[in-house]
Amino acid sequence: MINVFSSIRRAGLPAAGPALVLFLLGLVLLSPFVNAQTRAGSRVSDSILGVRIGTSLEDAEKKLEKLSITSEHLTDKDEDQREGGAKRAWRLKGTDYASVALQTDEKGRVVWVTGFVRPSKELLFSELGDTSRAVRATDSQAIWNVATPNGGYRLVAKGENGRARVIYMISLATQAK
C-alpha cells in the first residue's frame, strides 16, 4: 500500500491524495449498499391507485370511493382520536386491486397504504421498481427504500415467482410528538 501512495505522490497529487484515493475506493465498494436505497427513488412506484404517503384522507377517499363496492371504517371515531389517526378499507371494482386499506396520522395524512391484487392480475416486481436497486429482491419479496423531501417511504411487494399479490407503502418519516 505504501508503494501505491508514493507513486501517487510522484504523479503529482497533493499529500492528501492517499486519503482521497482511500475515500473514493470506499465509495466504490460501498455504493451498491448505499445506492440500492437512494437511487431507487427515480424508478419506484409511489402510489397505489393514486394514493401516496402523505395524501390527505379526504383526497384518498375521493379517489377510492369512485372505485369501491364497499368501504369500511376500521376504527371508530373515539379510537381515531385516541390513536391520532384513522384506518379505512375499500373493496374495489374495475381495478387490478381487490381491496385497499390505509392509515392516517393525527393530521389526516396517509402513513401506510396496502393494496391486495386480484388473482391473475399480479404485478411483476419489476413493474413496481428496478429490482436491481431494491434493498432486497427475492422470488417472493422486493423492498425499496425511497428518499423523499418528506422523509421517504418503503415500498414492499410480496407474492410468488416475482409477482406481487400484496403491495404496501409505509412512511419512513419520523414524527415528533
pLDDT tens sequence across 85-95 = 899 999 999 99
Q: How far is CA 22 from CA 10, 17, 87, in A?
A: 17, 9, 50
Which pLDDT belongs to residue 2? 45
Which pLDDT belongs to residue 141? 98
Give the integer Cα–Cα distance in Å for 173 and 177: 13
What letter represents residue 74's amino acid?
L
Q: What is the pTM of this model?
A: 0.70
Residues of the chain with pLDDT under 50: 1-42, 80, 176-177
Locate 163 and state its grid cell. 409477482
Which pLDDT belongs to residue 9? 43
pLDDT tens sequence across 78-123 = 554 556 789 999 999 999 999 999 999 999 999 999 999 999 999 9
Give the integer Cα–Cα distance in Å for 97 and 171: 21
Which pLDDT belongs to residue 174? 64
Which pLDDT belongs to residue 175? 52
Domain boundaries, the chain: 2-35, 43-171
